């Protein structure tokens, strides 16, 4: 075994890994990464008082090296931590939960081109160093710095492959609409990271239609599935491929129109909820329960004419972004934990 | 106020990891059979009856 292999095996032996080999980090590598940001190495990026641990800028840098990041990626990694802190769910313990969530990082702006963040084909798949390692840098710090190891403080019942990495760029160049960071007040030339707590990524196969209402009915079927309803409602980031986005935009639909229509289509009849034993909500936990549960309250829907609920609290619970290749009608619904109408945690990236 | 932590046996490893994190290895808590979330009210009542002796033991109550 050579020195490199010995160092990698040492990291495995210490448990400093997501199961894949990590890049051993020395002081020079750490300094090169820290030099890319104007942040105090001791600054806490994300504290978790419930487990007495925190990720500092220094720890985030070490884990970024271990994940395989180039030093110039680090401003994006730091922005991702800033966004995760603002988004709020990780701080409250969601990374320890049985649900087994991951953190989706959406990258906007010129930094995508500068670092080679993929926003086109195989968006959620492998092959791109920036996407692979920026997302991995977050997970490795969760494991190594927060101690969220599976079977211990990470109690995920099944988890998701997105826990290895989930970092995508928005395909701004092929989108008919303004990008997400511009919708939330930044300039097109700014770069930003928006973190979202996610469960699944679900494919929407719709190569068959040119009718906006048919396409969105197809998408809404996933937004309205009862299996996603742990809480009273759900939220989603709908990642439209350029072909779908143009189909909608060419017919005069704005992103807001799409969100509003998907919200309206997310209606689930009470009878359907009852068949899944989710026709009511617990007064204490606000989780969905059957009507005969001792703590149950039947939650009135937004539409008094129909007995049932919208799975979304409002159109704001559906974020619409454009990404993927311009080669087919395949989009995705990313099932998120919030924002259920809150402002997404769009966070500027400091100059690289 | 004297308290006792209660968790189901599926969370023993996590509970012990949390105890170590806070510097209390060997922390005493009550463990009951999993699951609880899908139990009926009668099932919950039965779990409570079964765990009571252990709760009292951890609290140091002598009958």
Tell me the domain boundaries of chain B. 6-59
Residues of chain B in Cβ contact (below 8 Å) with chain A = 11, 13-14, 17-18, 21-22, 41
Q: Which residue of A has its CA nearest to B42?
A: A294
Q: What is the mean pLDDT of chain A?
A: 96
Which residue among A53, A152, A294 places its CB closest to the CB of B13? A152
Question: Strands A345-348 and A192-205: what pairing?
Answer: antiparallel
Q: Which helix (H) or strand (E) holds A336?
A: strand A330-337
CA distances from A160 to A153, A236, B33 (A): 16, 16, 27
**A183-219 per-position pLDDT tens digit:** 999 999 999 999 999 999 999 999 999 999 999 999 9
pLDDT at A307: 96
Judged by a CB distance cut-off of 8 A, whether residue A284 touches chain B is no
CB contact at 8 A, A151 and B16: no
- A57-67 vs A74-87: helix crossing angle, rounded to 10: 120
The size of chain A, in residues, is 352
Q: Which residue of B has its CA nearest to A48?
A: B21
**A39-72 per-position pLDDT tens digit:** 999 999 999 998 989 999 999 999 999 999 999 9
State the Cα–Cα distance between residues A349 and A344, nearest whole angstrom.
15
CB contact at 8 A, B29 and B5: yes
The alpha carbon of residue A207 and the mean position of all alpha carbons in its chain are separated, in whole angstroms, by: 25
- Interface mutation vs chain B, best among A54, A99, A153, most B CBs within 10 Å: A153
Distance from CA of B26 to the nearest CA of A (A): 15
Q: In which domain, by residue range, is A14 found?
A: 3-266+311-348
**A107-141 per-position pLDDT tens digit:** 999 999 999 999 999 999 999 999 999 999 999 99
Geometric angle at alpha carbon A120, from A118 and A126, rounded to 5°: 55
Residue A106 belongs to some domain of the structure: yes
Q: Which residue of A has its CA nearest to B44?
A: A294
State the Cα–Cα distance between residues A205 and A333, nearest whole angstrom.
11
State the Cα–Cα distance between residues A318 and A238, nearest whole angstrom.
7
Q: Is the pLDDT of residue A340 over 80?
A: no
For residue A60, give every residue at least 6 positions away whose Cβ sits within 8 Å of its Cβ, in sequence order, or none: A45, A74, A77, A78, A81, A137, A141, A145
SS3 A316: helix
Number of structural domains chain A divides into: 1
Q: Do B14 and A294 touch (CB under 8 A)?
A: no
Q: What is the mean pLDDT of chain B?
A: 91
Q: Do A153 and B21 touch (CB under 8 A)?
A: yes
Q: Which residue of B has its CA nearest to A153?
A: B14
Residue A169 belongs to some domain of the structure: yes
Q: Which residues of A touch B21 (CB under 8 A)?
A: 51-53, 147, 153
> Dihedral of the CA atoms A253, A258, A263, A264 (nearest 10)?
30
CB contact at 8 A, A153 and A96: yes
Q: Is the pLDDT of residue A339 over 80?
A: no
Average pLDDT estimate for A242-258: 98
CB contact at 8 A, A85 and A142: no
Which residue among B13, B22, B41 places its CB closest to the CB of A151? B13
Q: Which residue of A has its CA nearest to B14?
A: A152
Q: Do A155 and B17 touch (CB under 8 A)?
A: no
**A259-289 per-position pLDDT tens digit:** 999 999 999 999 999 999 999 999 999 999 9
Residue carrying structure tokens 């009571």: B52
């Amino acid at each position: 075994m050579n020195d490199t292999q010995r160092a990698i095996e040492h990291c495995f032996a210490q448990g400093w890994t997501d199961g894949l080999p990590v890049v051993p980090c020395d002081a020079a590598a750490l300094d090169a990464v820290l030099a890319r940001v104007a942040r105090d190495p001791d600054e806490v990026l994300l504290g978790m008082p419930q487990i007495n641990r925190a990720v500092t800028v220094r720890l985030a840098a070490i884990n970024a090296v271990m994940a395989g990041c180039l030093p110039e990626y680090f401003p994006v990694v730091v922005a991702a931590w800033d966004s995760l802190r603002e988004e709020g769910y990780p701080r409250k313990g969601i990374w320890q939960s049985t649900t087994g969530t991951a953190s989706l990082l959406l990258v906007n702006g010129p930094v995508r081109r500068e670092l080679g963040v993929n926003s086109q084909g195989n968006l959620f798949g492998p092959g791109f160093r920036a996407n692979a390692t920026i997302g991995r840098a977050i997970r490795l710090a969760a494991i190594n710095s927060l101690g969220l190891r599976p079977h211990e403080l990470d109690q995920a019942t099944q988890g998701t492959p997105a826990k290895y990495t989930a970092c995508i760029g928005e395909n701004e160049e092929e989108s008919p609409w303004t990008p997400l960071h511009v919708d939330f007040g930044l300039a097109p030339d700014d770069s930003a990271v928006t973190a979202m707590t996610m469960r699944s990524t679900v494919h929407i196969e719709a190569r068959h239609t040119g009718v906006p209402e048919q396409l969105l009915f197809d998408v809404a079927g996933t937004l309205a599935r009862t299996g996603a309803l742990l809480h009273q409602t759900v939220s989603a980031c709908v990642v439209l491929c350029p072909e779908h986005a143009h189909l909608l935009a060419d017919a005069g639909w704005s992103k807001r129109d799409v969100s509003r229509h998907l919200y309206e289509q997310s209606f689930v009849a009470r009878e359907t909820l009852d068949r899944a034993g989710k026709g009511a909500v617990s007064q204490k936990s606000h989780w969905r329960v059957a009507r005969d549960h001792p703590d149950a309250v039947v939650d009135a829907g937004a539409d008094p004419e129909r007995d049932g609920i919208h799975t979304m609290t409002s159109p704001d619970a559906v974020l619409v972004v454009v990404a993927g290749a311009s080669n087919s009608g395949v989009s995705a619904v990313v099932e998120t934990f919030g924002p259920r109408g809150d402002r997404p945690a769009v966070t500027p990236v400091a100059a690289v | 106020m004297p308290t006792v932590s209660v968790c189901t046996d599926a969370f023993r490893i996590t509970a012990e990891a949390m105890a170590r994190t806070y510097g209390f290895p060997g922390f005493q808590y009550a463990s009951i059979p999993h699951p609880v979330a899908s139990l009926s009210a009668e099932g919950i009542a039965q779990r409570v009856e079964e765990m009571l002796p252990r709760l009292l033991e951890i609290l140091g109550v002598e009958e």
